[in-house]
């Protein structure tokens, strides 16, 4: 048995004690998705090679808010010894899954991961059919349009059409946003069963982005009930101050909600005064995408 195998086995014996349920909030104030994912899928993970799982945990530490990390920061987030982590980092760097940031002691996700993610995006029917519809929505309303799906405890942005170049700088395909502080996120949560919603919030928590963000279950449940009754979700400066969003569901064949489509604007007066028209136009475009995915409403 080599040293790596012995170390992995040692890591495995105290894995739960080191990760557990403490410190699930990362430095960004969000739930540490790596540790909670590990807790929530412990049974499934027990059948997989521990070395592979550890490498996945390392990759999960990198986010849009934390694109670069030192080895000490990664070791702290995963609660493993720096000496153990070094061997993983060296192997992942050699295979270009991560890279060292020039003239620093920090690491970042490598281009090999970018190449792999492009494969997943290319086969997404939601993105393929959604992009031209978002462009049409942008043209009809003159507002930025987004398309997102639920991914673990977040909204994964799979397509967008931005009103100006500045917005494009901050709208990256693959970017993740909180489920509880965005119109798309709340729309997706409203389509889940109560048990599934509670499970996700229990693992990933609430996302505090502005003073308007929902931060307790009672308020969230009231909001989701309203969304189910109305058929749409609103973000009133919950994700970003000065931004207002409206989201509606996208269905696949069989009637399951698989995505949410939204518009966003900084024009508070227009958002309020033209709300009914905005909702109608957005609903028509969301229904168009649903039809392309095989769902036709009565």
Q: What b/e readout covers 286-297, taking b as 16+ CB neighbours within 10 angstroms?
A: bbbbbebbebee
- Look up residue 195 and give its two tokens: 């048990």
Dist CA 111 CA 255 (whole Å): 37
Q: Model confidence over 284-298: pLDDT tens digits?
A: 999 999 999 999 876
Dist CA 279 CA 151 (whole Å): 25
Is there a contact between 257 and 251 (Cβ–Cβ < 8 Å)? yes
Q: What residue has token string 């195998």?
A: 5
In whole angstroms, what separates CA 15 from the centre of its chain? 25
Could you tell me which of 134, 184, 142 has the C-alpha nearest to residue 161? 134
Is there a contact between 69 and 60 (Cβ–Cβ < 8 Å)? no
Under CATH, which architecture does the 124-292 domain have?
2-Layer Sandwich (3.30)
Domain ranges within the chain, ordered by starting residue:
3-110, 124-292
Q: Which pLDDT does position 113 carry in this prediction?
A: 85
Correct CATH for 3-110 of 1.10.260.40, 1.10.10.10, 1.25.40.20, 2.60.40.10: 1.10.10.10
Dist CA 264 CA 138 (whole Å): 10
Q: Model confidence over 43-60: pLDDT tens digits?
A: 455 555 888 899 999 998
Q: Can you give the chain as a three-state secondary structure string?
A: CCHHHHHHHHHHHCHHHHHCCCCCECCCCCECHHHHHHHHCHHHHCCCCHHHHHHHHHHHCCCCCCCEEEHHHHHHHHCCCHHHHHHHHHHHHHCCCEEECCCCCEEEECHHHHHHHHHHHHCCHHHHHHHHHHHHHHHHHCCEEEEEEEECCEEEEEEEECCCHHHHHCCCCCCEEECCCCHHHHHHHHCCCHHHHHHHHHHHCCCCCCCCCCCCHHHHHHHHHHHHHHCCEEEECCCCCCCEEEEEEEECCCCCEEEEEEEEECCHHHHHHCHHHHHHHHHHHHHHHHHHCCCCCC
Same topology for domains 3-110 and 124-292, yes or no? Answer: no
Q: Which pLDDT does position 291 carry in this prediction?
A: 96
Mean pLDDT of successive 10-residue segments in the chain (298 residues)? 43 37 36 38 57 91 88 95 93 94 93 77 81 96 95 90 66 80 97 96 94 97 97 97 97 95 96 98 97 87
* CB count in 10 Å sphere of residue 161: 23
């Amino acid at each position: 048995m080599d040293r790596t195998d012995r170390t992995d086995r040692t890591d495995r014996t105290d894995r739960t004690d080191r990760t557990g349920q403490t410190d699930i909030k990362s430095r960004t104030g969000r739930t540490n998705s790596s540790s909670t994912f590990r807790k929530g899928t412990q049974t499934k993970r027990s059948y997989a090679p521990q070395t592979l799982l550890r490498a996945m945990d390392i990759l999960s530490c990198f986010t849009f808010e934390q694109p670069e990390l030192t080895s000490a920061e990664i070791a702290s987030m995963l609660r493993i010894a720096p000496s153990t982590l070094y061997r993983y980092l060296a192997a992942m760097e050699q295979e270009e899954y991560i890279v060292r940031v020039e003239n620093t002691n920090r690491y970042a996700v490598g281009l090999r991961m970018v190449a792999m993610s492009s494969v997943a995006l290319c086969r997404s029917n939601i993105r393929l059919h959604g992009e031209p519809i978002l462009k049409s929505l942008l043209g009809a309303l003159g507002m930025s349009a987004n398309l997102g799906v639920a991914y673990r405890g977040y909204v994964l942005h799979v397509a967008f059409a931005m009103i100006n170049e500045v917005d494009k700088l901050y709208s990256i395909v693959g970017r993740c946003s909180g489920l509880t502080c965005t119109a798309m996120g709340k729309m997706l949560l409203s389509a889940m069963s109560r048990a599934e919603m509670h499970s996700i919030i229990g693992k990933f928590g609430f996302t505090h982005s502005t003073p308007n963000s929902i931060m307790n279950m009672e308020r969230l449940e009231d909001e989701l009930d309203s969304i189910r009754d109305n058929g749409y979700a609103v973000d009133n400066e919950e994700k970003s101050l000065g931004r207002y969003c409206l989201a509606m569901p996208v269905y696949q064949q069989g009637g399951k909600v698989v995505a949410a489509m939204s518009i966003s604007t900084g024009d508070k007066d227009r958002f309020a005064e033209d709300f009914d028209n905005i909702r109608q136009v957005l609903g028509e475009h969301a229904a168009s995408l649903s039809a392309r995915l095989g769902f036709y409403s009565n």
